[in-house]
Structure 1
């Protein structure tokens, strides 16, 4: 029945996908009506009234889809046992399950939902207990690397093992509940077209032995993996630290004050975002407009540089930064020279064909190539600036690892910590590529 089970799964997946279309379109409409006026980063950080309206409406739409998906799941709850034990076709199994669950949604949904809430709560509690015990242990033995690393590895392994255990228990009881519901709605006197064979293949003792063998293999693999990790862990390695947009936690981002703060904190690099104004001056700014940092509803590409000198981009952060203005790339280089290196990100909030050439010229004219790197999400722009200014070190910013990154011709890859793996790092290092990890 495996091919039939696969067809059944594909039918259900297609139904869920089709059912999601109007909800996805609804969320897209909410975004188009409420979140298109300004840069999206402004809405996420400032959270004006339109943001909360959009969140509430989109959340309601999403909740509606989840309820529909739950309703479909319950209505098709018996599709698998009907297909396996009664020999029905995939479509026939869905139809019969639909009939058998009519007017029984809450009777089936509530016990299943309550059970999974219990499982989740139990998992959260056991995770908290393990972490609390680990914290108490570290408090007694001391926070040294030789103590912290094994404790963290053991704690994470134990948490993962407990989570897997709770998931297995959850699925077992879930299946038992589903079987009980199925038997309640099935004529027990009817002979099943596919008789259930007696347990002759494996005895309970054999199942127990197999379970212990699997547990032993998993435990051995965990010990080996932990040993390999600890053996390869180098506590003497040096790591370059980059301040995001300067030091945006203690000063307004992408300003001279943020750069000064990053220098005082001992950062090796300061990452800055650069764009051009309406009259072609390269300045530091992350968003497409000034709403978030200055409450000015204008896009940077529509503002001449001389106008920026009168716009306060620091008061939103704290009153003492009210004199802060948007700096030029030249001003940032003058401040950083000999004090901190720069990671200059090319920010294309609009298709600006002049940005790469202007940034490259400024860096070359200042003899700053060895004191900076240039990065971007726009790979064609990186290729362009590397060809025009081969002395520059360029890096491609990766949000999601897909395909073969080794084919991307950049000096380094800037990869999210959630996406980077040791295998990927080794692969890129073998090719002479550096790896920058951001959080």
Structure 2
């Protein structure tokens, strides 16, 4: 019989009793994962992508890749690697908190060694579970894809996101129903197999036998175990959020109440960051150890073994390990401070790239938006080029005219003469009623001598001549040196450079798998969530620029300037201009304080 209150008490007591060796193992594993397991996994996954004949799978090709045999195998391997990393750490903590066959406990060192010896078995167990989960979810995921294609496939995805067509309200409840079924089905399977890891670890079962045995042990108590697992998951998931919110509030309060000079505030915030790092390590330790102890305690109860604290003394090496762990935490905190300091770039200037013009205040890709962006101080005007049925190069983002002009036909199905008559401004505001969809040539003449062009080529099989025609048009307009050619796939950029080697090129990345640095381009343009200090260092080593999109809040603008990106792509060039002007008047110590503020919250 599993009683939630008693189980929670046992989990807390177990963590408290074994806290020092558990914490030691947590640090050991974190260092091992950081310096060995994670790099090895990244190399393996990149190698698997290359075996498919590609070195990078970008936004447009990602879904198509994942439904190929190579993509499915990549998905299987990546999920298995993630699972085995989770198993690895949970296994070590279970060994520490449980007796072995000789009725003794394991130190952190001993547990780490025993888990490494069992790595092949853990890998096999993880692979079997991942394959089963994928097979269980696949039919419902396929049905979800069919429903999406049936109801929303005729719309441009950007239209769906921004305009919410009627079909979306039919698709959403069906999608929720299917996703709920996937969650329930895979959740039930997870609970049924939740004891397989301790069975493999503590009783020596083979993975297949352990899965079968776990199913039998959990039978009849799945719902109760699921409730307990969900409750623990919610508690441990809330800890990092509460920690972040607490330190954000504390940081804001300290900056408000601590008087100048800035050096004093910098010192206090530095101490706060160090304290945050220590607490973050402790919170992650509590979350992982609680999940491991939960599985162990459920295993004890289902197998009829005695749970609770043990009478044996802890290993003699625990004392020295505790001192070592405390020293490691201090080093980690100091290292984090050094890392933060080094991640800041001293440069204050970034170029301002107006996303589809000043699209916050005017219709995107319009001459009005271009003119306003130039007036607001943009260095580059980012625009999207496509091709009409009769070959005219026009500026529009979506694959059809529905969102901007109310016409559902695809871009390549309509002649330019008809496009010229469309009202592409009323959708945004009555102030811009009658605004037309401009040609690339019109935009170039408006930009010439006032800014530079950042042109995304929106390729499609229905527009086979788009790339060569765009290159020829910019050559004719003598605007090659003033243009950055951007695309979502490396192949388009390679075609551009074959036609005109003097173009600067930018790879736009929303989501990708593979090695980004393995391609030749002048600019790597990433969405905000992908930009990290390591990406910045890679760009410096690779001698290409790093751009980030689409950033519209002043606090995020400050953060990416602090990080040292070369350009910020924004719908609000005037706001970015004001942020840069504000920063230009700060002293070096005030600038450091500003950076630390944006790192803390």
TM surpasses 0.5: yes
Q: Which residue, out of 210, 230, 240, partners 1:113?
A: 230
Tell me whether 153-162 or 34-43 shows the greater mean CA deviation.
Answer: 153-162
Aligned residue number for residue 418 of structure 2: 307
Aligned residue number for residue 320 of structure 1: 431
| Aligned-CA RMSD value | 2.9
Task: Show CA shifts across 1:19-77 (max 9, x none).
Answer: 11112111111112111112111111111121232232222211211111221122122
What SS does structure 2 have at the residue aligned with 1:418?
helix
2:274–2:334 contact (8 Å) kept in structure 1: no
Q: Displacement of 1:200 after TM fit?
A: 8.2
Greater percentage in helix: 2
Distance in 2 (alpha carbons) for counterparts of 1:91 and 1:214 = 37
Distance in 2 (alpha carbons) for counterparts of 1:10 and 1:85 = 20
Tell me whether 290-299 or 379-388 shows the greater mean CA deviation.
Answer: 379-388
Matched, 1:398 2:509: yes
Aligned residue number for residue 419 of structure 1: 530
Aligned residue number for residue 222 of structure 1: 333
Q: Displacement of 1:289 after TM fit?
A: 0.3
Q: Which residue, out of 196, 205, 211, partners 1:88?
A: 205
Alignment of 1:82-161 (within 5 A): 82-141=199-258, 159=276, 161=278
Aligned residue number for residue 177 of structure 1: 294
Task: Show CA shifts across 1:316-356 (max 9, x none).
Answer: 21121112110111111111112221101111144423222
Q: Displacement of 1:315 after TM fit?
A: 1.5
> Aligned pair in 2 of structure 1 residues 274, 169: CA closer, same or farther (>3 Å)?
same
**Structure showing greater relative contact order (alpha-carbon pairs closer than 8 Å, 6 or more residues apart):** 2
> Aligned pair in 2 of structure 1 residues 31, 159: CA closer, same or farther (>3 Å)?
farther
Aligned residue number for residue 194 of structure 2: 77
TM-score, normalised with respect to structure 2:
0.65
> Aligned pair in 2 of structure 1 residues 208, 284: CA closer, same or farther (>3 Å)?
farther
What SS does structure 1 have at the residue aligned with 2:529?
coil
What SS does structure 2 have at the residue aligned with 1:16?
helix
Distance in 2 (alpha carbons) for counterparts of 1:169 and 1:105 = 25
Distance in 1 (alpha carbons) for counterparts of 2:387 and 2:262 = 47
Distance in 2 (alpha carbons) for counterparts of 1:75 and 1:19 = 14
TM-score, normalised with respect to structure 1:
0.88
Q: Displacement of 1:429 after TM fit?
A: 3.6
2:425–2:436 contact (8 Å) kept in structure 1: yes
Q: Displacement of 1:304 after TM fit?
A: 0.8
2:467–2:492 contact (8 Å) kept in structure 1: yes
> Aligned pair in 2 of structure 1 residues 257, 11: CA closer, same or farther (>3 Å)?
same
Matched, 1:369 2:480: yes
Alignment of 1:5-24 (within 5 A): 5-24=122-141
1:401–1:419 contact (8 Å) kept in structure 2: no
Tell me whether 17-26 or 49-58 shows the greater mean CA deviation.
Answer: 49-58
Aligned residue number for residue 66 of structure 1: 183
Matched, 1:385 2:496: yes
Aligned residue number for residue 438 of structure 1: 549
Q: Displacement of 1:225 after TM fit?
A: 4.1
Matched, 1:249 2:360: yes
> Aligned pair in 2 of structure 1 residues 144, 410: CA closer, same or farther (>3 Å)?
farther
1:273–1:346 contact (8 Å) kept in structure 2: yes
Aligned residue number for residue 143 of structure 2: 26
Q: Displacement of 1:215 after TM fit?
A: 4.0
1:287–1:349 contact (8 Å) kept in structure 2: no
Q: Which residue, out of 308, 312, 315, partners 1:202?
A: 315
Distance in 2 (alpha carbons) for counterparts of 1:48 and 1:244 = 25
Gaps of at least 5 residues in structure 2 are 1-116, 551-601
Gaps of at least 5 residues in structure 1 are 190-196
Distance in 2 (alpha carbons) for counterparts of 1:144 and 1:244 = 39
